[in-house]
Amino acid sequence: MPILVTGAKTLRVRVRKKDERLIEIEKLPLVSIIVPVKNEAQVIRRLLEASLGLNYPPEKTEVVIVDGASVDGTLGICEEYVGKHPGQLRLLHQSVSNGKPCALNYGLKHAKGEIVGVFDADNIPEPDVLMRAVGHFQSSSTAAVQGRSRSINADQKMLTKFVSYEEAIAFETYLQGRGALNLFVPLTGSCYFIRRSVLQKIGGWDEQSLSEDTEISVRLALEGHKIEYAADIVCWQESSASIIQLINQRTRWFRGCMEVALRYGKLITRPSARNVDIELTLAGSYVFPLCLFGLMIVLYGFLVPIKPDPVSQIIADVASLLTVTLLLTTGTVLVYVTNLQKRTNLRWLPFIYLYWIMETFIATYALAQIVLKRPRKWEKTEKTGAIAGEYGLAR
């Protein structure tokens, strides 16, 4: 909770004074942007156009596109752009798709940049992202930088609005707060940058992980490397507009994070401020099933008036307290960092709480997959190219 509050306070300070850490042009490093793609014909053009429009010297930029056996015309679109801009765009093709971390490692083998950036195919980076990103790497202690992602289709429907609110909390308060408190800052899958030398030293991304961004964040932290959150680095991305797609995406996220938490659970046996912070962060995914379990006990108590055993009662009480505290804090922060303080928008709050309950079911389903040892499967989130919200209005 203190993290969310600190993030909200930091946000208000930051909007008054925008970060202007830039670097002299002659000292700019070569930056490689790796873009894993698979059947992204609906969105890949706008990413390539945005990449070509970055206000960073073209001779110091390369976009490495890794195609994972696309069959929808993505490969042809990429070949078209590479043919027109061979000095800035490079295309690699994999005959078999083995997931995003595999594509990232394949791209890393061919990347030449001192700094390596990662963008998803549906991302649209702001023109100044590279200039601002390299500014954060002026500090030798910074090994990685996580930028801020914003929803490009927040106003498409109710679901995308909820997802955009969730992202606002995740980036503008949670990551902002962790960074302000000098705590563990996890990478979020896109719009982030890492020194290539550091990536090579730690062996790149874990190709067996369903949450490769979280897993590599832990390894970076354990090696003593600093991950910085940079709200001035902004890209736009598409929020899931389909319930099925959202469930598949979040199931993979929750399961991936839970498995990373189990993998590094031994950190608890070596107590230190860093290790405890990392493990508590990773354990956050398990709070959702606990809250759902407590809710089910409470509901069962209303339906079947029997006296529960002491253990179940304690679990229910703790889970209920966690749920109420989390929802109240999240709701307050959401009002603080968005325009929900407008009376007409307060109607969203009850639905946001229902959305949160849905996520507790998804997290519980992910946990069940781990317990039942279901095969890991990388579920690709389909994108449609929809634009609805601030991005469209600003243009």
Q: What percent of the chain has pLDDT over 70?
A: 80
Which of the 8 DSSP states describes residue 96?
A: S
Looking at the structure, give the CATH architecture of the domain made up of residues 2-241. Answer: Alpha-Beta Complex (3.90)
220 touches 116 (CB < 8 A): no
Confidence at residue 42, expressed as pLDDT on a 0 to 100 scale = 95
Q: How confident is the model at residue 186 (pLDDT cuts 50, 70, 90)?
A: very high
Structure tokens at 122: 């549906």
Q: How far is CA 362 from the centre of its chain?
A: 17
Q: Residue 17: is its pLDDT beyond 50?
A: no
Residue 343 CB coordination number (10 Å): 7
Question: What is the phi/psi pair of residue 20, to 5°?
Answer: -120, 30
Confidence at residue 158, expressed as pLDDT on a 0 to 100 scale = 87
Structure tokens at 306: 């029997």
Q: Residue 16: is its pLDDT beyond 60?
A: no
Confidence at residue 31, expressed as pLDDT on a 0 to 100 scale = 98
Task: Give the separation between CA 381 and CA 41, rounded to whole angstroms.
Answer: 13
**Residue-wise pLDDT tens digits, 304-333:** 666 666 766 666 666 666 666 665 655 555
**Residue-wise pLDDT tens digits, 42-74:** 999 999 999 999 999 999 999 999 999 999 999
Domain spans of the chain, in order of start: 2-241, 265-371
**Residue-wise pLDDT tens digits, 132-179:** 999 999 989 999 999 999 999 999 998 998 888 888 877 777 888 888
Confidence at residue 12, expressed as pLDDT on a 0 to 100 scale = 47
Q: How confident is the model at residue 86 (pLDDT cuts 50, 70, 90)?
A: very high
Task: Give the separation between CA 207 and CA 216, rounded to whole angstroms.
Answer: 11
What mean pLDDT comes out for the span 22-28? 73
Q: Residue 82: is its pLDDT beyond 90?
A: yes
More confident call, 360 vs 345: 360
What mean pLDDT comes out for the span 10-36? 69
Residue 186 CB coordination number (10 Å): 26
